[in-house]
Amino acid sequence: MPPVPPDPPETARPPLAVRVPVPGADVGDATAALTGLARTLAARRPESPGDLQLTVRRSGTVRLTRRNQYGRYPIVHPVVTGRLTGGPNGVELVGAARPARFHAWTTATMAVAALPLLFTAIVAGTGIGTDGPGARFVLLAVVAALVGAVRWDARRPRRGFAAEVDDLLRGLTTELATGGR
């Protein structure tokens, strides 16, 4: 009987592989083009949510996202990180797209805020005292449930993530084609 393959390890939202062609004869030219585009994008005024944010480091690491909108209706965009590599098809940005951690942090903050409220409601509803093994068990159960909810939210795939990454990369391609105008 063949061996059973092990289950894949649990990871927080596995990244989406990304490969985007970048104009340039070699990696140095492509780095210069991306650096120029990053400066042009950073100089745009007024800034508005949804604008591209591009960072090119000296080490060759590239980070691409859109300006987020915080407030009552937050809009948080994916983040693409990668490196420029040369190959037979020209220079490409090769990396991974990950969702922003804003939503997981929001869920964790709400869970921390809900802890005393849930504990008080359960203790008051059941009539057990606040000291003793019963209250400790209730507190432990509430904490375990909240930690489980935060972990579940951090690992579940978000609908529309792949489409958001495609839109982000399409925006980069358009900006590279127009020269950031």
Residue 77, judged by CB atoms within 10 A of its CB (0-12, 13-18, 19+), counts as buried
Note whether 25 and 88 are same-domain residues. yes
Q: Which of 43, 44, 25, 24 is nearest to 34 (CA)?
A: 24
DSSP 106-132: HHHHHHHHHHHHHHHHHHHHHT--SSS
Q: What is the pLDDT of residue 37?
A: 92
Residue 158 or 23, more confident: 23
State the residue range of the domain holding 114. Answer: 103-155
The residue-averaged pLDDT of 4-20 equals 67
Note whether 94 and 130 are same-domain residues. no
Q: What is the pLDDT of residue 173?
A: 92
The pLDDT tens digits for 33-42 are 999 999 999 8
At residue 89, what are phi and psi to the nearest 5 degrees? -95, 10
Q: How many domains, in total, are found in the chain?
A: 2
What pTM does this model have?
Answer: 0.70
The residue behind tokens 């925006």 is 171
Q: What is the pLDDT of residue 98?
A: 87
Q: What is the pLDDT of residue 35?
A: 93
Note whether 30 and 115 are same-domain residues. no
CB 95 within 8 Å of CB 104: no
Highest mean pLDDT (candidates 70-79, 83-92, 120-129): 83-92
